[in-house]
């Protein structure tokens, strides 16, 4: 079905424009039980269900997730979800990759308890040079995806003790250093 040279145009007049892209979210949602049973079925407008969600999940269970933002990359959760930035990507692309990273991290949490769904609470740790990316991520994640967050600014590399040794942070990395 459809080999080389096949030209099929998908979509039509109702096709989404690129400005709708940042507001789209194809993730699962809580179904609306009071919604009409007839007519065309649209996507439910409940909160986004991150990671693994049970079919009748109705209670959000908060789980902390740290996102580290540096001048050249974003680390979502543990260090295995790395998103390179500063390579000409659009804001929408960056948001898409971060949302996918959050979902992937939530998926690693396993199944939530019965009737619950995961609700990530993000702690942004912004390193020097990463503030521009933080400012572009925070508002869309809160408004479009319902992600609540806090922010912590990591000290600059120049923050050193008087004796020349690096100051250790709680995470075990040198102050201003990269995880």
Residue 7 has pLDDT above 50, yes or no: no
Q: Which residues neighbour 63 within 8 Å (Cβ) at sequence distance 6 or greater?
A: 106, 109, 118, 119, 120, 121
Contact yes or no for 68/125 (Cβ under 8 A): yes
Which pLDDT value is given to residue 52? 79
Per-residue pLDDT tens digits for 130-154: 999 999 999 999 998 888 999 999 9
Query: What is the enclosing helix (H) or strand (E) of 3?
Result: none
Q: Give the long-range contacts of residues 108-114, CB within 8 A, separation 24 or more.
A: 108/51, 108/77, 109/51, 109/52, 109/63, 110/52, 111/52, 111/54, 112/51, 112/52, 112/53, 112/54, 112/57, 112/61, 113/61, 114/54
This prediction's pTM: 0.63
Mean pLDDT across the chain: 73
Least confident of 90-94, 118-122, 156-160: 156-160
Contact yes or no for 117/156 (Cβ under 8 A): no
Which pLDDT value is given to residue 54? 74
């Amino acid at each position: 079905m459809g080999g080389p040279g096949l030209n099929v145009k998908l979509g039509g007049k109702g096709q989404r424009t690129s400005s709708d892209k940042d507001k789209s979210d194809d993730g699962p949602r809580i179904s609306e039980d009071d919604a009409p049973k007839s007519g065309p079925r649209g996507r439910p407008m409940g909160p986004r269900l991150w990671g693994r969600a049970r079919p009748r999940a109705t209670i959000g269970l908060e789980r902390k997730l740290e996102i580290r933002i540096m001048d050249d990359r974003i680390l979502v959760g543990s260090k295995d979800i790395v998103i390179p930035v500063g390579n000409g990507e659009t804001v929408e692309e960056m948001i898409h990759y971060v949302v996918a990273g959050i979902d992937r991290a939530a998926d690693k949490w396993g199944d939530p308890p019965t009737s619950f769904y995961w609700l990530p609470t993000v702690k942004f740790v912004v390193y020097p040079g990463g503030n521009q990316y933080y400012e572009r991520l925070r508002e869309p994640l809160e408004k479009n995806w319902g992600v609540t967050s806090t922010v912590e600014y990591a000290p600059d590399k120049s923050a050193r003790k008087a004796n020349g040794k690096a100051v250790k942070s709680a995470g075990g990395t040198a102050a201003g250093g990269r995880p």
